[in-house]
Structure 1
Amino acid sequence: MRDDRTEAGATHDVIVVGSGAGALTGALVAAADGLDTVVLERTPLLGGTSAYSGAACWLPGTQVQERAGLGDSTEAARTYLRALVGDAGADRREAFLRHAPELVARLESDPAVQFVWQAFPDYVAAPGRMDAGRSFVPRALPQEELGDLARLVRPAVDRDRAGRGHPGGPLVQGRALIGRLLLAATRTGNATVRTEHRVTGLITGNGRVTGVEARTPDGTVTVRARHGVLLAAGGFEGDAALRAEYGVPGSAAWSMAPSTATTGDLLRAAVRLGAATDLLDEAWWCPGTQRPDGSAAFTLGLRGGIVVDAAGQRFANESLPYDRMGRALAAARTPAHLVFDSRTGGALPAVTVPPADPAAHLESGVWVKADTLPELAGLIGVPADALTGTVARFNGHAADGTDPDHHRGEDPYDRFFADPRDAPGPNPCLVPLDRPPYYAARVVLSDLGTKGGLRTDARARVLDARGAPIPGLYAAGNTSASFTGRVYPGPGVPIGTAMVFASLAVRDMALPASGTAGGGPDGARSTVTALSAQD
């Protein structure tokens, strides 16, 4: 099925570029308000990195935390963010905190959108922190409830990279979040979703952004917007040239974002219009274990092992939250390796996304195995005496239950993934390495997406170099520069902030046209389509 309004010259109230959690939240809010909304997605599938994620949503002080009896509050989150970030970007911080409870209540008023709290500690020991965590996740979504739309939701990263669709059973985690937002948006009757529309340019007229230019399998089309354009299609983590230009460490090949989806087209287009940028050297960092094909697997939740640098030395608390461990890795002498023993049967003592096949990793050489630590040191190119000394010192700390070098196991986050059955000593995070054979997995600096982008205000309006809004242009998620700066406060901050600022963007778009949206008595403008450009 095709929708003629997406041909050259089509006009909608709102254009949303991208289809992650932020983009679809913006589209849902706009469509629910009666605005004729079109979502333009570059790839054949919806969800981007959000679909790969665990779908934690860091949205403080909402009815979800209240239902769980957490005792969370907007004020506690304000205290926490202020302790971490200071008052830089205070206007955006306050807009985020004010709108989060309202947005969640609105989303959950639709039966298609359901959330439940899930324990996962905030990442930094600071006033206002929730040791049990304040983020929540979507409920699993039965595929039959989503129907044919399920085929448009991007599968989990391991299946997506292998060209496979969803397994049987309900959609979970990021797939459930994208599926629920998509389902709610389609039910409004005001949303059109178009895949394979790569937006490469912004159209202006009368001093404002009035639309976009997009490449499709059928050629280039222009799509115009009466109220505004929301750019929410991720960052530029997949563009090696932009990463090099802005000094983003790591590699595009090691990023967890879909490989073809995030090449900085929107950043370039907005900058050509005079948009200001910030934090362009930043990303949401994480350690990655290298895979046989040269890509990386997001690695977190270590239950054992140690990470050593090129000198065979530990350089950080391996149980740190992944962004902080990524920053430590960026500053370390590389290559780095995760060294572990056989108590896990040759499996990595950590969570990896995608999961790791030990045999394939050993065969490719990104993992190595040896009967002794000196032999292992030779295989990874570090001094044998350094590695054996590092392991001996760590094993001594494991017996004592303390880590005076890096304080592993002292923080609630450290212990969240630990299993006391793995450690004979008093600290479950300190598991000795004493069961040969030994293994080493190559560790690289990965990311969940770049964190810098277009400068925006508290209404998600894109700003120019003078700090003035560019009329008609908005940005959210990783297309914009995060108000959290160089800090990653807790699980789901990227998704939560993207959702809030996308909602604030479409609210601002509707202000000049209050009372004019809608195309009939029920506000419906069109039959929903959510099919590819080739259908």
Structure 2
Amino acid sequence: MTAQDRTFDAEFDVVVVGSGVAALFGAAAAASRGLSTCLIEKTDRFGGTSAYSGGAVWLPGNAVLARDGVDDSVEKGRTYFRAVVGDRTDRDVQDAFLNTGPAVVTFLQEELGIPTRFQAFPDYFDAPGRQEQGRSIYPKPIKGEEVGDRAADVRPPVPADQFGAAEDTTRLEGGRAWVARLVLALDAMDSAETRLNTAAQELVRDEDGRVIGVAVDGEGGRRLLGARRGVLVAAGGFERSGELRHRWQQMPTADWSSSHPDTGSGDAVRMFEHVGAQLDLLDQSWWCPATLFPNGHAAFTLGFRSGFIVDGTGRRFADELLPYDQMGRRMRARMADGAGDEFWLIFDDAEAGNFPAICIPAPEPDQLREAGLWHTAGSVDELAAATGLDAAALQESLERFNGFAEQGRDADFARGEDPYGRFFLGVSTAEQCLRPVGGDRLHAVRLVLGDLGTKGGAVIDANGAVLDTEGRPIPGLYAAGNSSASVSGEAYPGPGVPLGSGMAMAFRAVADMAGEPLPIAP
């Protein structure tokens, strides 16, 4: 909409849309400069999908890595990032992200006082510059008593948020620790205001096309919030919009995303479309295998300790220990090739019949059996009949996998040969990642193609400014996080790239709004 008279219900220097880590960090960067800042979140909780994350932040060559004994540099990170991402995204934007990382961490520590630490988690690709122990930093956990009443405003973990488990606020870790610490930092700033239950509806422009505010719907009804310096949209993607997922990604449902149903509904990308922004990577997500639950939701699953995965044809198609985005892409490729959207993890009683992978919440066998999502049988033929898989193909997959396990080498997909695969199993050799499947009982649990959010959105420049379809910055409009087209393109280079790039580009966006644009090079 265009505000002819520019009459606003409230005016700020900066309005931030969203409340994930990128949005909160951007708001803190603005308010710390003395810019009056209003952050709006459409739900009743801060955090978005960031609150579900493990909290990794991928920023090469930062001071925390050096302090904790990790031999890394921005240049080493650039070598790796370039090798993985290539020219799929603008090199100036790549450099802006990578070169800004150290400053982001310095601001976290020295300005916001947020304690951080290194934690091992391997980079995802075997490429030059890779760190096998990783280069990700994490927030230190925070006790609920330190967060106080604000703990009730932080989005709870997946089990409590989507599966009815009791909410525990005694200790906040990972992404929730980032969210809590950043919310507390904003609370301590006189120039910052936060509003829950306030949904952005459309961007407000002046007669020259500059974005000067946001129309919102909140507890007081429709309001216009003015933004003298700019609007930063970091409101997530469109992973929970069935219409947009079908339109751009041909996904059969939006229910398999790990995000909460009330978040990631595509508000940001619709606002961008309305003002003529250039969009990219709309067919892309941060993919992952996911376990399907009776309520129709699916939970992010990784670290398969035993068993193997087959597609709808009953055939194995990938190394089950691939980094989750890469495994998800193998699943997506099989769907595109006509294998259907059903996948099954086949395993035995080696772990007393328990689910041999990391999944939160842990699948409850009886509940999944009742829903037809977990089958137990005494033979391959019985299991095939229960799942609808081809018995001959399933038998062949089992025998071939067992043959590789006996030889100690997966000749088809090299399972366990990459350090990432061994990391989650806590083993040192590929042979330890291969164990025959057999015994008196076999199990099959339904898996689907899930995601940690979409990664397509507005194309931004090195200052985080949203570009129009002609490649020109739209004055007053900025984007970060999953509302922007990811700087990593179609790849997921390492743990924490989504949060790290979101924070870096939000930091640059605020500097540009303040009239202090950061250089691309150090």
Alignment partner of 1:511: what SS? coil
Could you say which residue in structure 2 is the equivalent of 1:252? 254
Could you say which residue in structure 2 is the equivalent of 1:79? 79
Distance 2:64 2:409 in 1: 37
1:59, distance to aligned residue in structure 2 (A): 1.1
Could you say which residue in structure 1 is the equivalent of 2:182? 181
1:249, distance to aligned residue in structure 2 (A): 2.9
Contact 2:288/2:328, CA 8 A, preserved across alignment: yes
Q: Which sections of structure 2, spanning at least 5 residues, go unmatched?
A: 1-6
Identity of aligned residues (%): 46
Letter in 1 for 2:505: F
Distance 2:140 2:163 in 1: 26
Distance 2:39 2:433 in 1: 45
Could you say which residue in structure 2 is the equivalent of 1:310? 312
Q: Is 1:448 the counterpart of 2:436 in the alignment? A: no
Contact 1:400/1:426, CA 8 A, preserved across alignment: no
Distance 1:250 1:301 in 2: 26
Q: Which sections of structure 1, spanning at least 5 residues, go unmatched?
A: 1-6, 515-535
The root-mean-square deviation of aligned C-alpha atoms, in Å, is: 1.8
Could you say which residue in structure 2 is the equivalent of 1:56? 56
For normalisation by structure 2, the TM-score amounts to 0.94
Give matches, 1:58-457, under 5 Å.
58-87=58-87, 88-110=89-111, 112-162=113-163, 166-207=167-208, 208-249=210-251, 251-332=253-334, 333-334=339-340, 335-420=342-427, 427-457=431-461
Contact 2:60/2:101, CA 8 A, preserved across alignment: yes
Distance 1:476 1:417 in 2: 30
Alignment partner of 1:75: what SS? helix
Contact 1:140/1:170, CA 8 A, preserved across alignment: yes
Q: Return the match for 1:482 from 469, 486, 490.
A: 486
1:279, distance to aligned residue in structure 2 (A): 0.8
Alignment partner of 1:42: what SS? coil
Alignment partner of 2:83: what SS? helix
Letter in 2 for 1:268: R
Greater CA drift, 54-63 or 261-270: 261-270
Greater CA drift, 344-353 or 91-100: 344-353
1:119-159 superposed Cα distances (whole Å, 9 cap, x missing partner): 11100100000011111211001111111111100000110
Contact 1:239/1:263, CA 8 A, preserved across alignment: yes
1:110, distance to aligned residue in structure 2 (A): 4.2
Distance 2:36 2:394 in 1: 62
Distance 2:154 2:315 in 1: 43
Distance 2:510 2:104 in 1: 12
1:426, distance to aligned residue in structure 2 (A): 6.4
Alignment partner of 1:428: what SS? helix
Alignment partner of 2:425: what SS? coil
Which runs of structure 1 show a deviation greater than 3 angstroms over 4 or more consecutive aligned residues?
162-166
Corresponding residue pairs, total: 505
Greater CA drift, 212-221 or 95-104: 212-221
Alignment partner of 2:215: what SS? strand
Letter in 2 for 1:259: P
1:228, distance to aligned residue in structure 2 (A): 0.4
1:513, distance to aligned residue in structure 2 (A): 11
Letter in 2 for 1:95: A
1:109, distance to aligned residue in structure 2 (A): 1.2
1:217-275 superposed Cα distances (whole Å, 9 cap, x missing partner): 33111111110000001001111111122134352100011111111122111211111
Could you say which residue in structure 1 is the equivalent of 2:26? 26
